[in-house]
Structure 1
């Protein structure tokens, strides 16, 4: 009925069959037509469970005890098939790997339209309109397998928008997007809401979403709604240790709290002997590569990874970042030039041999998780590296503690949430104790407290001689990196200290990076502090000495 609210949730509770605790409890709220509702909260608070109930995956795909009801435009869809619900509620998942089925972009975006029985001209026109709206029409005929994670995320969104649902449900849509793409996507989502579409956005990157002016914010904790109202009230209601807020807000609150514990990155101990140069751990010599003969993804890459480096790799979606690091671990071999690991050409080494030096966390956990239990997953690498049984037990235990997954040893990894899967994949590499840790988008699907905790622990682990991480989160580079690689169009555009690379506003704009409030505060106060700091530490560094 046209006058009915798009979404009404009444006293909704759900408990998964395999768990004792309720995932969500007694939730009641409604959403207006054209409203943009931001749903925030720490991992495990119930955000994804609520989304699954709204789009019908609960109770169809996820079984358990369900009570309460959900009305879509005044109707219950309890017995309706998912195909019917999907025409009302369009969902974009956290991990695009789970959503993309088509081998080519146009086929993928057209998939839902084909199931509606539209004519071919109608399907092509609607699919191309969705691609144009997201600025990715150039990807129309590309194979989805070769897209970057961010490009896949945009294609998944295009496939949903082409269906023209009345309710759009976005589960962490910014996780794989470069900062400029994130801003563009948020602007499109805001426009869709202004045109009358109801939008529910589950997102950890609260600071980014603030720019799109959500109409209301829902803050969840322990499966319950703890706040529902305007954005201004939410910033006062949440703990800044758990939800990432703009740096000035955090600094104002942190100044009244005790200073944070210092974090001393262990790889930097190797930099104390910088005047005595040693052979690089990894060397790229004029490396060129393409997945086919026509398109070069990497062009003339020359760089060294040395002991003591903590490197943040930044750049736009499709820039070649993941392709570059896959060369370091031997998953890809150069078409031109060579990559040396400990002085040996990767053409002469197996991936297993290189794993003793480099441990690699994939961007998508589904690309590396396979074992029947978390315990088996974490023990696999150390076992193949012939670690002693008692050593493996200690390595697995410590890795689980670092990523906050103690107690999950018997769980099947692929039955966990995307964020938990990501942490399992990180823990699996931590347990191997390789000399260099390489992580592709380690914060994807993670709440602020989780990723700050595990990053603090990782950089302080004495086993790592160097750490390299690909990220779209500039604040990760501000807080943890001592070196920034800016990659675009298959080349290293800039390589240097964060305070130099990130201070070049024109350079950032030209490479689809957007300065954050934390970067701006650090650059403003750098003459006084002489270093880049997290917001809490910056607040105390600026306090006048008595």
Structure 2
């Protein structure tokens, strides 16, 4: 009888910088060909478990480790990191931390080169991985010019080229547009059906359930609290903590108290439509000469809550970076309250627009969470008493009380994302711009901080780029669809998201919540959360 791909027994680990274990008493056996989904709140120990399995703990992350891990019958304690990496492939949560090569083909070939394989085999395996992920057209692109979603696919291609027996995926869908996420999940299912064991950490639980994972684990406070089938999950977890399919939530929420109706941005709904940011015939291209934005005309008004949707590489982040002055148009102009951004410094713009980057590693640098959040207000010359209140309010909104003295770069990706959001909240900018704010976030946390942010009285407008159609349904009063460097649709969510053919052209996939809302729309006249729909249907 052959050895199981993975056996974890009585595993406990405490980071050197922490007092409490990050994971405790983990026991897990994984069969060949299984897809195992691990769900749970940000910071519950999921990523720590992955680091133990792939050998980064205790080799790169130091601390106190007890218990054992066996991969195909071999105890990892006696194996080198290089040997483990040949059996276990890992795709990290933040592709920025994984990509080393300057060009896509070099990045995909990197692991194979370290194995000393013949050049012909390296090129063949690399090309096969690129084609499998439908990104062969990116083969000769420079990696720094790729979108976040494209980088995620390249990182995955580099791992697949190694042909590991176990594949560990930490939030692989976080940066992918919905159609790309579906493609990735179908490929994961196919890999498992071919015999690979796949362990998948993902907050987008509804998406993963579509490929019928053999097992679902739910972690909380460093322990496995549930280990069973997808069908049993709804009976065990709180639908307010894990994002389940909308019909499941509809049934569960009907038995609970109705949610209170929030009032977003009360100051922005009265009076004339005051323009805050104007794009006038904006064209932009990077140094390689390829034009990214093609004649964009767009006005952001006071009171707007705008969701920006579209496929990977469509130009969404490039568009937003023009709004905050990090990029300047090659042709046309961008005005902030009537002033051309070409004549404004980034510091001037920052007092009006606060920007949360897609990757927290592009923002975080301070020794503690408190210092990270104090940096912006301090540079804007806020007085000490006001600064402290702004920092503590921001910490409360993103649910990080108790983490004030923790180094941000030692935290999980989801926690780092919340720190980066809080760093902008503490500056009290008038317009908030967020690039993928819910990436890496568990359902409960992102609902909590989005609810809080949108009820803060200081903001005049909010923009957020997202691949999560349900976030747009729940929070936006205006949706922009961006495709191939142009705004192809702009209007109320009920108008823009009702055109399913146009959504498909923008690589967006109708979710169960969208379909439910379309079913109820003639009665509700507006989009609602599944929890609100549950009580509307009873009325």
TM-score range, shorter chain: over 0.9
Listed one character per residue, the Cα deviations across residues 488-543 of structure 1 (whole Å, up to 9, x for unaligned) are: 00000100000010000100011100011111111110111121111111111221
Structure 2 CA distance for aligned equivalents of residues 51 and 436 of structure 1: 38
Structure 1 CA distance for aligned equivalents of residues 116 and 17 of structure 2: 38
Between 392-401 and 211-220, report the one with greater CA deviation: 211-220
Give the SS at the match of 1:87.
Answer: helix
Give the SS at the match of 2:78.
Answer: coil
Give the SS at the match of 1:304.
Answer: strand
Aligned to 1:456: 451
Aligned CA-pair RMSD:
1.0
Structure 2 CA distance for aligned equivalents of residues 20 and 543 of structure 1: 48
Give the SS at the match of 1:14.
Answer: strand
Q: 2:278 aligns with which of 283, 295, 298?
A: 283
1:94 aligns with 2:93: yes
Aligned to 1:68: 67
Map residues 414-453 of structure 1 onto 2, 5 A cutoff.
414-453=409-448
Unaligned stretches of 5+ residues in structure 2 = none
Q: 1:310 aligns with which of 293, 305, 311?
A: 305
Structure 1 CA distance for aligned equivalents of residues 221 and 373 of structure 2: 28
Q: Structure 1: which 4+ aligned runs deviate by more than 2 Å? A: 268-272
Aligned to 1:271: 269
Give the SS at the match of 2:481.
Answer: strand
Structure 2 CA distance for aligned equivalents of residues 237 and 513 of structure 1: 30
1:187 aligns with 2:182: no
Give the SS at the match of 2:270.
Answer: helix
Map residues 226-241 of structure 1 onto 2, 5 A cutoff.
226-241=225-240
1:523 aligns with 2:518: yes
Aligned to 2:507: 512
Structure 2 CA distance for aligned equivalents of residues 419 and 45 of structure 1: 10
Contact map agreement 2:324 2:346 (CA 8 A) in 1:
yes
Listed one character per residue, the Cα deviations across residues 403-432 of structure 1 (whole Å, up to 9, x for unaligned) are: 011111111111111111111100000000
Structure 1 CA distance for aligned equivalents of residues 82 and 211 of structure 2: 30
Give the SS at the match of 2:86.
Answer: coil
Contact map agreement 2:373 2:426 (CA 8 A) in 1:
yes
Structure 2 CA distance for aligned equivalents of residues 415 and 44 of structure 1: 11
Give the SS at the match of 2:421.
Answer: helix
1:481 aligns with 2:479: no
Q: 2:357 aligns with which of 354, 362, 365?
A: 362
Structure 2 CA distance for aligned equivalents of residues 396 and 424 of structure 1: 11
Between 295-304 and 532-541, report the one with greater CA deviation: 532-541
> How far off is 1:380 after superposition?
0.9
Give the SS at the match of 2:167.
Answer: strand
Structure 2 CA distance for aligned equivalents of residues 427 and 26 of structure 1: 33
Listed one character per residue, the Cα deviations across residues 177-222 of structure 1 (whole Å, up to 9, x for unaligned) are: 0000000000000000000111000111000001111111111122
Contact map agreement 2:90 2:159 (CA 8 A) in 1:
yes
Structure 1 CA distance for aligned equivalents of residues 219 and 152 of structure 2: 25
Give the SS at the match of 2:291.
Answer: coil
Aligned to 1:498: 493
Structure 1 CA distance for aligned equivalents of residues 514 and 394 of structure 2: 30
Map residues 531-542 of structure 1 onto 2, 5 A cutoff.
531-542=526-537
Aligned to 2:139: 140
Structure 1 CA distance for aligned equivalents of residues 32 and 255 of structure 2: 41
Aligned to 2:403: 408
Between 192-201 and 230-239, report the one with greater CA deviation: 230-239
Q: 2:318 aligns with which of 323, 328, 351?
A: 323
Structure 2 CA distance for aligned equivalents of residues 224 and 415 of structure 1: 20
Aligned to 1:251: 250
Give the SS at the match of 2:482.
Answer: strand
Structure 2 CA distance for aligned equivalents of residues 270 and 393 of structure 1: 27
Aligned to 1:398: 393
Structure 2 CA distance for aligned equivalents of residues 371 and 20 of structure 1: 21
Listed one character per residue, the Cα deviations across residues 10-57 of structure 1 (whole Å, up to 9, x for unaligned) are: 111111122222221211121111111111111222111111111011
Structure 2 CA distance for aligned equivalents of residues 22 and 356 of structure 1: 40
1:19 aligns with 2:18: yes
Q: 2:329 aligns with which of 318, 327, 334?
A: 334
Give the SS at the match of 1:8.
Answer: strand
User: TM (normalized to structure 2)?
Assistant: 0.99
Structure 2 CA distance for aligned equivalents of residues 346 and 44 of structure 1: 39
User: TM (normalized to structure 1)?
Assistant: 0.97
Structure 2 CA distance for aligned equivalents of residues 258 and 88 of structure 1: 49
Unaligned stretches of 5+ residues in structure 1 = none
Aligned to 1:261: 260
Structure 2 CA distance for aligned equivalents of residues 204 and 496 of structure 1: 29
Between 474-483 and 25-34, report the one with greater CA deviation: 25-34
Structure 2 CA distance for aligned equivalents of residues 172 and 455 of structure 1: 20
Listed one character per residue, the Cα deviations across residues 259-298 of structure 1 (whole Å, up to 9, x for unaligned) are: 11221111x532222xx343x1100000000112531110
Structure 2 CA distance for aligned equivalents of residues 73 and 277 of structure 1: 64
Aligned to 1:178: 177
> How far off is 1:79 after superposition?
2.8
Give the SS at the match of 1:542.
Answer: helix
Contact map agreement 2:430 2:458 (CA 8 A) in 1:
yes
Structure 2 CA distance for aligned equivalents of residues 367 and 20 of structure 1: 28
1:389 aligns with 2:388: no
Structure 2 CA distance for aligned equivalents of residues 543 and 49 of structure 1: 43
